[in-house]
A = this chain, B = another copy of it.
Amino acid sequence: MTPKAILFDTFGTLVDWRGGVSAALARLGEQQGITADWLALTDAWRGAYRPSLDAVRRGERPWCILDDLHRDSILALLPQFGAAGLAPDVEALVAIWHRLPPWPDSAAGLRRIRRKFITAPLSNGHVALLVGLSKAAGFEWDMVCGADLFRHYKPDAETYLGACALLGLPPGEVMLAAAHNEDLAAARHFGLKTAFISRPLEFGAPDGRAKPSREWDFIVDSVEDLAEKLGC
């Protein structure tokens, strides 16, 4: 039952993108003398994430990294939120996602788990983003699986199975840990084990998304809790 490697979803599972992005937007806005509903803009930016990934997944848009998708969606959103004055800072906006605050248990939990298991992020972020984010957050890995290694976004098969292939392990010896039921459903479909990490604050107020929708192999409240249950 115990896997040899554990892959971790990143945005929402290990880092607080909502708190981090909204705070960084507010800082940049303040520097430029712009006020706006930064939390609402953050939610709208995240709202554009899945449709933009799906356009690539369906082949309507050629492969590009998350920075490119983030750039296009924020440029489209800024005027709607009265923040068009931030457009010249678009590279700084895109870079916000390279440095996000970790949930308090993430770095310590990952460190414990890595003592006994092979660990890697498996994210729709690209390697450069994940390397920067991990260094800033104190995450230590055995490998970094960015979507650019596979030129596919989750939940495409190529990401889950590509990560297993790179690690030289059959899917049954690999587990995905994520705060998102649909990510885990895809991982289970492709033969991986699953760990649900509940993150009730990911979208602000707790809602149904923070609850497990199935009997995942592990259901925990934090990475430290997962480390505990894995005997690390």
Q: Which residues from 174 to 221 on chain A have a C-beta closer than 8 Å to any C-beta of chain B?
A: none
A113 to chain B, nearest CB (A): 13
Say whether A127 faces chain B, with CB atoms less than 8 Å apart: yes
Number of interface residues of A (CB under 8 A): 20
- In the bound complex, residues from chain B placing their C-beta under 8 Å from that of A14 are none
Assembly stoichiometry (copies)? 2
Given A118-B131, A127-B143, A128-B169, 19 more pairs with CB closer than 8 A: A118-B135, A126-B166, A126-B168, A127-B166, A127-B167, A127-B168, A128-B166, A128-B168, A129-B168, A131-B142, A131-B143, A134-B142, A135-B142, A140-B140, A142-B144, A144-B144, A146-B166, A148-B166, A149-B166
- In the bound complex, residues from chain B placing their C-beta under 8 Å from that of A168 are 126-129
10 A-B pairs with C-beta separation under 8 A: A126-B168, A127-B143, A128-B166, A128-B167, A128-B168, A129-B168, A140-B140, A141-B141, A143-B144, A149-B149
A144 to B146, CA, bound (A): 11
